[in-house]
Structure 1
Amino acid sequence: MMKGHKPRILLTRRYPARVEAALAELFETVENPEDRRLSADEIIAQAVGCDGLLVCPTERMTAQVINALPESVRIIATFSVGYDHIDLEAARTRGIVVTHTPEVLTDATADVAMLLLLGAARGAYWGERMVREGRWGAWAPTHPLGIDVSGRRLGIIGMGHIGRALAKRARAFDMDIHYHNRRRLPPELEGDAIWHETLEEMLPLCDFLSLNCASTPETRGILNAETIALLPKGAVVINTARGDLVDDDALIAALQSGHVAAAGLDVFNNEPDIDPRYRELENVFLLPHLGSATPRTREAMGFRALDNLRAFFEGREPPDRLV
């Protein structure tokens, strides 16, 4: 950083207090004290005079927004591991560096994936409603019943850090692990998991299916009518990755028909304005994008973003650079 000069950074949301304090020591920060979701025009206007932006997935950094940013902006750091909300090609064309925060939210997100898997299978949503609404009658041998988890087959689409962390947790339930990845993992990372080169090969073997891949042009809508039809009847679907991996019409139809017995969802298309039909289904366990939502994880994400900003302005290569 230039001696006596603090780069100016726009913080589009409120971040953990320790992170904001550390940012303020290194940079001149433009804050969003109301923690309000800024419009595209507001981001562009508030970026005037700024050298960088710290954004969240709530901000859609489209090509139109990036092309309208002032010339002073040289870096966009996102407070997330996912970066589908940023048009990387537009940033590359503008010469704007983009960074993200990988690895630090692995355990928290894998914990939520396992929570969703168990909650969806064992009827956490409808079971809690029965108790809360006074509909819990006498115990009965035949109802209500959930789905066994232990010893079943789990298919994972995307065996990165989070996918592998979920597999580790699932092994404690004696689950057989199958995975589909762009490339097969090396033996030390694969362990006893079984790699499938194609979804067509893996999906018929999945009693449970977890989406853990990044949102890319190749993976958007990867769970659709055709792929759902390949799952065994009564499969359970889990998504902690990105909402746009799922064709909502196809998944809802499968949940209504019973081909998919249950789903556990933490992410959605157009969140928080999710498809209202999900709210009407008793066999869906819904969470409001809680994957990384622990104080320790959110602080780690903030400090990871800070490390990238500091490296850039000190003339070093940001450790988590995307473009």
Structure 2
Amino acid sequence: MKSKVYITRKLPAEIVDKLSSHFYVRMWQEEDVPVPRDVLLKEIEDVDGLFCLLTETIDEEVLTKAPSLKVISTLAVGYNHIDIQAAARKGIVVTNTPGVLTETTADLTFTLLMAAARRVVESSDYLRNGDWKTWSPMQLTGQDIYGATIGIIGLGRIGEALVKRAKGFDMNVLYYNRTRKPEKEQELGIHYATLAELLQQSDYVCLLLPYSTEVHHLIGEKELALMKRNAILVNTARGGIVDEVALYHALKDGQIWAAGLDVFEQEPVPVDHPLLTLPNVVTLPHIGSASIQTRTNMANLAADNLVSVLNGNKPLTPVISK
């Protein structure tokens, strides 16, 4: 008897066809609207596998509604939207999609860094609004990138990929990580620093660590006060790592120079959010991994995890497994 799978967002036909060749598949048909909570709770009642996004909160209530559930496959690297402990108690395998989005997310991180440093969005708006009347010596001047110091908080796969991009700009690289990595220091030519040292010395601070309750508001008022006045904060990890109220005041008061943000505590971010009113903030709608190739690869990996587990094999990229 075929297993049943529920997909919480409309996916490309090739991914659905792959899953349909193995399982009975039902899918929420909206591309840009998350599945409503009540629909999810109903749909999950008889499924063996769940293909979800980070927009769905998979908590104890959802898991209790799914007595047959064997595997949750999320189309993301982060999995803080899933109650991992509850899944483990119920013997449910949880998988994610690491590795395939490393280079693409590192690209986007460096893109945000450059856009904030050189005031790219602000300059484009200046032109489009008809404000460009003449060339002048200090008009829309930004910060140099080449030869500057970059501080990377979280030296995982994406952090290492960002180091390689920074080295192409002859940047001095500092890193802070929960576990020091001496072999990477030697291999990549980087230097370990405490969090305080990194914040004090870096021209650019890039957040690339996984979210957990332990790092909630890791960057707050105290940490922002340690940064240089010409420093730029870049967050392509998770919004909850930064205290957004403190960041708003630091940017508005000139305590730090600019920020590049791909993630927010609440997503979608409200259009009246104070950070969106500041000209020295470059904001994006969580598109760190959003290239056609990478998102397709992520979806294929998420599908392959479901196929592997429901066919009695080990998951390819487990967060937790039996």
Q: Does 1:133 align with 2:143?
A: no
Superposition CA RMSD, Å? 1.4
1:175 to 158, 171, 176: 171
Contact 1:18–1:299 (CA under 8 A) maintained in structure 2: no
CA drift of 1:42 comes to: 1.4
- Alignment counterpart, residue 227 of structure 2, candidates 206, 224, 231: 231
1:70-123 Cα offsets, whole Å, 9 max, x none, are: 211111110000001111011112221111000100111111101100000000
Q: Aligned equivalents of 1:38 and 1:21: distance in 2?
A: 20
Q: Mark the CA change 1:208 to 1:158 in structure 2 (over 3 Å): closer, same or farther.
A: same
Query: Structure 1 stretches of 5 or more lacking a match?
Result: none
Q: Is 1:294–2:291 an aligned residue pair?
A: yes
Question: Following the alignment from structure 1 to structure 2, what is the Cα–Cα distance between the partners of residues 94 and 102?
Answer: 24
Once the two structures are TM-superposed, the CA of residue 27 in structure 1 deviates from its matched residue by 1.6
Deviations 1:152-203 (A, max 9, x none): 000001010111111111111111110011112252575111112x312221
1:221 aligned to 2:217?
yes
Aligned length: 317
Partner Cα distance (2:145, 2:318) in 1: 39
Q: How many angstroms apart in 1 are the aligned matches of 2:160 and 2:240?
A: 22
Distance apart, 1:205 and its partner CA: 1.0
Aligned counterparts, 1:1-323, within 5 A: 5-35=1-31, 36-67=33-64, 69-188=65-184, 190-196=187-193, 198-274=194-270, 276-323=273-320
Deviation per residue, 1:199-245 (Å, 9 max, x gap):
12221111100000000111111111111111112210001111111
Mapped contact 1:158–1:212 kept (Cα < 8 A): yes
Work out the percentage of aligned pairs sharing the same amino acid: 39
SS class of match (1:322)? strand
CA distance in 1, matches of 2:138, 2:35: 51
Q: Please give the per-residue CA displacement for 1:1-55, whole angstroms capped at 9, x wherever unaligned.
A: xxxx321110000123322221111221111122331122211101122111000
The offset of 1:147, in angstroms, is: 0.9
Code of the residue aligned with 2:293 in structure 1: it is: R
| Structure 1 SS opposite 2:308 | helix
Cα separation, 2, equivalents of 1:296 and 1:182 = 31
Aligned amino acid, residue 298 of structure 2 = M
Structure 1 length normalisation: TM-score? 0.95
Aligned counterparts of 2:197 and 2:182: Cα–Cα separation in 1: 20
Q: Secondary structure at the match of 1:65?
A: helix
Deviates more, 1:302-311 or 1:292-301: 302-311
Letter in 2 for 1:303: N
Asked if the contact 1:78–1:305 (Cα under 8 Å) also holds between the matched residues in 2, the reply is yes
Distance, in Å, in 2 between the alignment partners of 1:44 and 1:52 is 14
Whole-Å Cα distance in 2 between the matches of residues 164 and 188 of structure 1?
9
> In 2, Cα distance between the equivalents of 1:257 and 1:73?
51
Q: Which amino acid aligns with 2:57?
A: R
